[in-house]
Structure 1
């Protein structure tokens, strides 16, 4: 986790100005994606109940803009809002899906030039075409909606394109695959800014999964589970109640009275990842919550979260979040 993220988190907990998010809306903006940013960031609160973000919508030129639906949106702010933003997010527009390529409008280019150095920049769905056309993704890892992936790669060969992810984060420049993965991207940014506890609270308020890792495949053709066959929910509930101890695949399968092979297949169909990987994710979430909200020692957190030892937990947090347990606690522990 870089120093800029740590500074943002500590400033918020110290009661300084809210993190300012600016949404750069274009004509024919996808209304769902525009609302995602307001809904997700708007719910983030400190332990004292204070709003952690200020979200504003701006456009290259203020006024009414069309959406992909049967209504328009009146945008009061012009591109000057971008110069004051800590994070800039570019949602998709219907025009992005046209087969022919077009250069950026001069007004859009001028608006992007107002983004201050050091600001975090993100796109949702095909908003990545804007970032790439502006040169912001050159040499960086990025993704976009799978339906537009071939056209994106052909037009921007200097971008390190990754189709099989929900979102990417390359040193403060982020992209997401589609509308729903925009939710994952926003939660990822909140988690980076203020920790897992805040992000999880927002996820619960929106009734969405608290964490789908960016590396999860965005589009996988797989059969729907047979509704007559029991799901893996019983095993998952049992695992969450027993995270503090070692859990084997055989034990998980036993909760559903099935073989390990059948259980693994059903689990992948239902959750989209392996049981082992899912368990690791849940333990990381549990560890982060304990580091943020309790006075347990690092060793006690490791045991309670099911990692067994502080060394094992340190390796997993370093691989997943890029920080040690003590650094995570120092950054995200409230006053």
Structure 2
């Protein structure tokens, strides 16, 4: 039987730990036989999981029996995983074991070097920290999960379930995976990716000693994005030349001023789609887009879904 080992590390995210246990542990094949044997392997006999602690029945040595290893996320990504965990994961990979991470578990997987040169994802809120620590990894923070064959990664929270369903479909086919999705009351495939969940281009609240020359103009853009703002307007507000403005924006945000403006408008549009019944054309006008066509194009480009699909997803969640 296919053995799935879920790795419980100190400070594990309980949701990420429970998701693969439930998803794989409840699989039944057409014959009625279980599809997987799930074991929880701890780096310690007892590990913290937020507000409570988890006692584990198996140690790292049990990873040697696994066909698949799942690495859940950790609450504090700045803390390095124990060296013996990295060694165990590397050894498992060399034996051909499939290894998958959920959410910030990608930090643990990346620390082994197994993601170097590969495409991967993690929770969007930790993306910049991940890129800074692991520049050799091709991070795509806009998707729900990435399948690189033997190594897989997912975004945060419910994206872990998307990844588990994908692996079940790989192992036993779409019909078994569809049964698992129905049991979880979840779609087998979700439209769009992680991009639709990202709150874009929010200027960070900074201590006075950390403020930069762009802070005032970013706050101005936040207030004026719904107007017909031009690059010249932004440069005039910042009291600098356009060339200097572009250089400062690239250095601090990694974007041009107009890209930042578009991201702010899309975020404002997301808020209106979630909280009002305005038509798509009105939403586009309200946040500053010159035409409905341009609004739809930019919204889809940044979020991965059309405005109405976004509304249907997030208004339903709010109603629920």
Q: What is the DSSP-based 3-state SS (H/G/I as helix, E as strand, rest coil) of the residue aligned with 1:125?
A: coil
Go from structure 1 to structure 2 and tell me whether the alpha carbon gap of 1:216 and 1:106 turns closer, same or farther (over 3 Å shift). closer
**Residue from 107, 123, 127 that aligns with 2:84:** 107
Note the C-alpha offset of 1:64: 1.3
Aligned: 1:187 with 2:170: no
Q: What is the DSSP-based 3-state SS (H/G/I as helix, E as strand, rest coil) of the residue aligned with 2:96?
A: coil
Aligned position for 2:74: 93
Note the C-alpha offset of 1:212: 2.1
Note the C-alpha offset of 1:109: 2.5
C-alpha contact (below 8 Å) 1:80/1:114 kept by paired residues: no
Matches within 5 A, 1:199-238: 199-212=177-190, 215=193, 217=195, 219-220=197-198, 221=267, 222-223=270-271, 224-225=273-274
**Residue from 111, 122, 127 that aligns with 2:100:** 122
Output the CA distance in 2 between the equivalents of 1:210 and 1:148: 26
Aligned: 1:162 with 2:135: no
**Residue from 40, 43, 46 that aligns with 1:60:** 43
Output the CA distance in 2 between the equivalents of 1:92 and 1:216: 16
Q: What is the DSSP-based 3-state SS (H/G/I as helix, E as strand, rest coil) of the residue aligned with 2:143?
A: coil
Note the C-alpha offset of 1:179: 1.2
Q: What is the DSSP-based 3-state SS (H/G/I as helix, E as strand, rest coil) of the residue aligned with 2:50?
A: coil
Q: Deviations 1:86-119 (Å, cap 9, x if unpaired)?
A: 10010011221x4xxx544222223324415211
Aligned position for 2:308: 266
Go from structure 1 to structure 2 and tell me whether the alpha carbon gap of 1:135 and 1:29 turns closer, same or farther (over 3 Å shift). same
TM-score normalised to structure 2 length: 0.63
Output the CA distance in 2 between the equivalents of 1:226 and 1:73: 39
Output the CA distance in 2 between the equivalents of 1:33 and 1:42: 14
TM-score normalised to structure 1 length: 0.60
C-alpha contact (below 8 Å) 2:122/2:156 kept by paired residues: yes
Aligned position for 2:202: none
C-alpha contact (below 8 Å) 2:86/2:108 kept by paired residues: no
Output the CA distance in 1 between the equivalents of 2:83 and 2:185: 40
Go from structure 1 to structure 2 and tell me whether the alpha carbon gap of 1:214 and 1:51 turns closer, same or farther (over 3 Å shift). farther
Aligned: 1:78 with 2:56: no
Q: Which runs of 4+ in 1 moved over 4 A?
A: 213-216, 225-230
Output the CA distance in 1 between the equivalents of 2:151 and 2:12: 21
Aligned position for 2:7: 24
Aligned: 1:139 with 2:117: yes
Query: How many residues get paired?
Result: 216
Aligned position for 2:246: none
C-alpha contact (below 8 Å) 2:10/2:43 kept by paired residues: no
C-alpha contact (below 8 Å) 1:168/1:214 kept by paired residues: no
Note the C-alpha offset of 1:65: 1.1
Unaligned runs of 5+ residues in structure 2 are 199-266, 280-305, 315-320
Note the C-alpha offset of 1:219: 2.2
Go from structure 1 to structure 2 and tell me whether the alpha carbon gap of 1:225 and 1:218 turns closer, same or farther (over 3 Å shift). closer
Q: Deviations 1:172-197 (Å, cap 9, x if unpaired)?
A: 21111101100000000001111111
Output the CA distance in 2 between the equivalents of 1:88 and 1:213: 27
